[in-house]
Chain A
Amino acid sequence: MGSSFFEKASSVATVAGFGFYMAAFGLLGVLPWLMTDKIAPVQSGRQFEQRFLPAQVPLDFRGHYKDLAAYRDGLYLGKKVYIAEGCWHCHTQYVRPVGNEAARYGPVSENWEYQNEMNLPQLFGTRRVGPDLIREYNKHSTDWHIAHFRNPTDVVPESVMPSYDWFFNSDGSLNDRGWAIVAYVQWLGSWRELPANKKEQG
């Protein structure tokens, strides 16, 4: 038994190592990938704009973003800032069908909402030091968000969120990163209001 199949370097490397991992990759990666794409194809380009962007730049952001293309670039930058500052370590982006979450946050998350390039990589998150953000659209005013990023405890006295002074110019107005993160957070969940998506919602 000194050289049984189960003790050999070759079987450990190929079967236990590569084989079992690839089996798991198929089950946890490839199959869900095919399935979700079948339920709701990944939206990019024109379809992404129709399904996930408003018809016009939202009123609050017209001062900073001249047209829809600029607003869209802002959303991308906002997502970058959201990742870079580690927002996703303390805020999640999905509502579960349990724990009274629909009552607290809004509709339970569905697959089609995440099938677009803004979810590369996805930002589901695993910890809620602060609340979930996927239904943040229109929950607070844009002014509230600006004050909140400047100093969270001014608007939520119990908050443990840090302030983000580097989202602001020296005169106290938002800089590019600041506008971008506010636009991004105010965009989260807005797609549920678009006419193109009404039929998707069960």
Chain B
Amino acid sequence: MTVQSTSPTAMPSDDVVNVTRVRWWLGAAFFWLFAAMLAGLIYSSQYLRMYVFPGIEYLSPGRVRVTHTSGVAFGFLVTSTLGLMEYVIPKLTQRPVLNQKVGWFAFFAWQAILVATVVGYLGFGQMQAIEWGETPVWIDPIVMVALVIVTANNILGPIFQHATKSGKGLYVSLWYFIAAFVWTGVNYFVGNFFPEYWVPGSAGASLTSMYIHDLVGLYVTPVGWGLMYYLVPVVLKKPVFSHNVSLLGFWALAFLYPLNGAHHYLHSPIPMWVQAMSVLASVGVHLVVYTVIYNFWQTLRQGGTDSYTKLPLRWFVAGAVSYLLTCMQCALHVTFTVQEHVHFTDWVVGHAHFVMFGTFSFFVFGFTVYLWPRVCGRTTWHSETANHYAFWLMAVGNLTMWLVLMIAGLIQGQSWKGLEPFTKSVTSSAPYWLARTFTGIAIFVGFSLMFWNMIQTARSREEAEYDPRTIPSPSPA
């Protein structure tokens, strides 16, 4: 085991990072999350029977809902992580992306894809009936091309050049990034084309579930953890606790996670052995999660109070706690017994928010708190106080939403099983749906505060304290 492979090393120069483009990726990502959160809030008003735009076809709840989910997944999480990887990968490999022009092309192509997707949803009712893959069918081939370009130019290109030259093992973050892009390239093709054109019925459902799960499990999860394996040691100035635990966490995730999919359609006509296999693999994943969490906990212990006084780490700790809770929840509700009661209910909606927002969006927020002033040529944010308020509003909003939706889910499940009239499950949910909207407002206000703070920080770039291309490098551990 070498020192290089346990800690991100200092770079002699930061010229390898295209700081301007990192700023554009992050700025675009935060704009998309602003829009996606607004869409989510508007959608939630339908449940209160106070829909903001009643009777307007182009803003109907069904279409606004996918704008929310796709906006979060593709608009925010994919866009922001691509930006953060444009920072982390050059730092770790000491190489820029293969071609800067292609890098810019990828950025604008991805934004055009996102705009076309929203226009397709709202304006033309073009939606593909694949969850998380609703992107209109004619855009899917374009996404595939963009994905291949960005993978080659930004991710695998520099990493493989670096690996060939150094001949050493790679730092853990890079394993996650390589695997995430190989998985996602294949997964996007499998999930968007097979059930749509070739595989109907329950086998199609099995493939759809694989796609649903792997977009989160094999893109968002590995990329999110890869980013944290970089950020946490850099902020703490301490190495990751155990290289061997990192290895175990990565390889076990790689083996088990792809098998999880079918747990989204338990008790369905999908062959029973497939469902049972997915349940076992999912419980297995929950054990893998403990290894990753343990590794980070031990790493954070070396930093003492830094883990909650430094805001980037506090975001990370909050996200990691969400991750632990959500995975424990998963190991419980993934079983056939519990599925009988919670499937199709708001329990699942709460679970999804806790993963996509409570865990991985929090990771991105933490990294952004660290990186944004730096890519704007400043040492500080416009307002540190605003960032602290943003943290507490979003953290409390997230936890409350999860709890509220879990309770609502249990009530709905019991109402159905007890053979009450279906509408009873709707009326019983009403107070929880109202509470959910309020938690959503707290999150939206918190996020808007952070977004405003970002804009203010970027606008005062003329007062820059240094040329952003010479960001102070993280020191070696």
**Chain A interfacial positions (CB closer than 8 Å to B):** 1-4, 6-10, 12-13, 16-18, 20-25, 27-29, 31-33, 35-37, 42, 81, 83-90, 92, 94, 96-101, 103-104, 109-111, 113-117, 119-131, 153, 156, 158-160, 162-166
Segment of B247-255, B359-367, B371-379, B395-403 in the binding face: B247-255
The answer to whether A17 touches B179 (Cβ under 8 A) is: yes
Known contacts A16-B175, A29-B190; is-contact A162 B61 (Cβ 8 Å): yes
Taking CB atoms, residues of chain B closer than 8 Å to A109 are 268-269
* Known A12-B174, A21-B218, A85-B60; further 17 A-B contacts with Cβ < 8 A: A4-B169, A22-B186, A24-B210, A27-B259, A28-B206, A29-B210, A84-B125, A84-B127, A85-B125, A96-B340, A120-B198, A121-B200, A128-B344, A128-B416, A129-B426, A131-B422, A166-B57
Query: What are some 20 contacts across the A-B interface (CB < 8 A)?
Result: A6-B247, A6-B251, A7-B247, A13-B156, A25-B186, A29-B190, A29-B199, A31-B274, A35-B271, A37-B203, A81-B125, A87-B62, A94-B268, A100-B419, A120-B204, A121-B200, A122-B195, A126-B348, A131-B422, A162-B54
In the complex, the answer to whether A160 meets B47 with C-beta atoms within 8 Å is: yes
Contact A7 B169 (CB under 8 A): yes
Most chain-A CB neighbours within 10 Å: which of B170, B267, B278, B344? B344
Q: Is B100 positioned at the interface, with any CB of A under 8 Å from its CB? A: no
Which 4 A-B pairs give the minimum distances between C-beta atoms? A7-B169, A86-B62, A17-B182, A114-B201
Q: Is B167 an interface residue (CB 8 A)?
A: yes
| Residue in A closest to B201 when the chains form the complex, CB atoms | A114
Which of A7, A36, A121 is B128 in contact with, Cβ under 8 Å?
A: A121
B186 and A18 contact, CB distance less than 8 A: yes
Tell me which residues from 176 to 200 in chain B have a Cβ below 8 Å from any Cβ of chain A: 178-179, 181-183, 186-187, 190, 194-200
Chain B minimum-CB-distance residue to A18: B182
Across the interface, which residues of A come within 8 angstroms of B259, CB to CB?
A: 24, 27-28
Contact A158 B201 (CB under 8 A): no
Q: Is the CB of B195 within 8 A of A121?
A: yes
Smallest CB gap from B344: residue in A: A128
Residues of B within 8 A of A85 (CB): 60, 62-63, 125
Chain A residues lying within 8 Å of B426, measured Cβ to Cβ, are: 129, 158-160
Report the separation of the CA atoms of residues A1 and B5 in the bound assembly, to the nearest whole angstrom: 10
Say how far A5's CB is from chain B's closest CB, in angstroms: 9
Residue on B nearest A127 in the bound complex, by CB: B344
Smallest CB gap from A123: residue in B: B129
Whether B309 sits at the interface, judged by CB under 8 Å, is no
Given A9-B174, A89-B62, A99-B340, are A120 and B169 also a contact pair (CB < 8 Å)? no
Closest to B253 in A: A16
User: Pick the contact of B203 from A20, A29, A116 — CB < 8 Å?
Assistant: A29
Docked-complex contact A36 and B203, CB < 8 angstroms: yes
Does B341 lie at the interface of the complex (its beta carbon under 8 Å from any beta carbon of A)?
Answer: yes
Known: A18-B182, A84-B126. A7 touches B170 (CB 8 A): yes
- CB-CB under 8 A from A24, the residues of chain B are 210, 258-259, 261
B9 within 8 A of partner (CB): no
Q: Is B31 among interface residues, defined by CB-CB distance under 8 A? A: no
Q: Are B130 and A156 in contact (CB under 8 A)?
A: no
State the Cβ distance, B388 to closest chain A Cβ, in Å.
35
> For the complex, what is the distance from the CA of A176 to the CA of B61, rounded to whole Å?
21
B interface list, Cβ under 8 A from A = 1-2, 4-5, 46-47, 49, 51, 54-55, 57, 60-63, 65-66, 125-131, 156, 159-160, 163, 167-170, 174-175, 178-179, 181-183, 186-187, 190, 194-210, 212, 214, 218, 247, 250-251, 254-255, 258-259, 261-262, 264-265, 267-271, 274, 277-278, 336, 340-341, 343-345, 348-349, 412-413, 416-419, 422-423, 426-427
Residues in A neighbouring B274, C-beta threshold 8 A: 27-28, 31-32
Q: How far, in whole Å, are A39 and B211 apart by their CA atoms in the complex?
A: 24
Bound together, the chains give a CA A90 to CA B66 distance in angstroms of 12
**CB-CB < 8 A to A27: which residues of B?**
259, 274, 277
Which of chain A's residues have a CB closer than 8 A to the CB of B168? 2-3
The 8 Å CB contact of B182, one of A4, A13, A96, A103, is A13
Chain A residues with CB below 8 A from B55, complex form: 163, 165
Instruction: List the B side residues contacting A28 at CB < 8 Å.
Output: 206-207, 209-210, 258-259, 261-262, 274, 278
- Could you tell me the distance between the alpha carbons of A111 and B205 in the complex, rounded to whole angstroms? 11
Number of CB contacts from chain A to chain B under 8 A: 259
- Which residues of the other chain, B, contact A97 by a CB distance below 8 angstroms? 267
Interchain nearest-CB distance for A162 vs B (Å): 5
| Beta-carbon contact of B250 and A16 below 8 Å | yes
B268→A20 contact, CB < 8 A:
no
Closest B residue, CB atoms, query A86: B62
List, in ascending order, chain A residues with CB within 8 A of B198's CB: 120
Most buried by B among A4, A101, A162: A162
Q: Are B179 and A12 in contact (CB under 8 A)?
A: yes
Chain B residues within 8 Å of A12, by CB: 170, 174-175, 178-179
State the Cβ distance, A104 to closest chain B Cβ, in Å: 6
Decide: A127 near B349, CB < 8 A? Known: A114-B269, A115-B201, A122-B195.
yes
Q: Which of B127, B131, B201, B423 has the most CB of A within 10 A?
A: B201
Pick the residue among B125, B130, B190, B200 that contacts A42 (CB under 8 A).
B200
Bound CA–CA A120/B193 (angstroms): 10
Contact between chains at B5 and A20 (CB < 8 Å): no
Q: Contact check: which of B57, B201, B277 meets A122 at CB < 8 Å?
A: B201
Distance of A86 Cα from B67 Cα, bound (Å): 11
Closest to B416 in A: A99
* A73–B227 alpha-carbon span in the complex (Å): 50
Distance A158 CA – B413 CA, assembled complex (angstroms) = 18
Distance in Å: Cβ of A10 to nearest Cβ of chain B? 8
Partner of B51, one of A17, A117, A162: A162
- State which of B46, B262, B345 has its C-beta within 8 Å of the C-beta of A162: B46
Q: Would you call A36 and B170 a contact (CB within 8 A)?
A: no
CB nearest to A17 among chain B residues: B182
- Give the interface centre of B60, B129, B174, B198 by most chain A CB atoms within 10 Å: B129
Task: Given A27-B277, A28-B261, A156-B423, answer yes or no on A121-B130 (Cβ-Cβ < 8 Å).
Answer: yes
